[in-house]
Amino acid sequence: MTPRAEELAQAYLAAGVVSDKYADDARHVAIATTHGIGVLVTWNFHHLANYRREAGFNRVNLENGYPAIRIISPLEIVYESQDEGI
């Protein structure tokens, strides 16, 4: 956890993207974002891998000078790789 990632995580919390109860989820996204990881793969559908949350994280990212991040489920990776053989 870097100071930049902690600051970004706090910005997610302040913006209400996730509640303080789920600060670790905010930190998870912040670490990925500040380290230049463009896609976060997770089974956490409630707090991370859903359209509304992804939009919220990305709004805060853009407001703070970071690029958007994709937050997807492992199933999206599996189905994408299966489609490549077609």
By mean pLDDT, which of 5-9, 52-56, 78-82 is the weakest?
78-82
At residue 86, does pLDDT exceed 60?
no
Q: Which residues contact 26 (CB under 8 A, 6 or more apart)?
A: 9, 10, 12, 13, 17, 18
What are the structural domain ranges in the chain? 3-83
Q: Which residues contact 77 (CB under 8 A, 6 or more apart)?
A: 41
At residue 79, does pLDDT exceed 60?
yes
Q: pLDDT tens digit string along 23-56?
A: 999 999 999 999 999 999 999 988 899 999 999 9
At residue 14, does pLDDT exceed 90?
yes
Average pLDDT over residues 52-67: 97
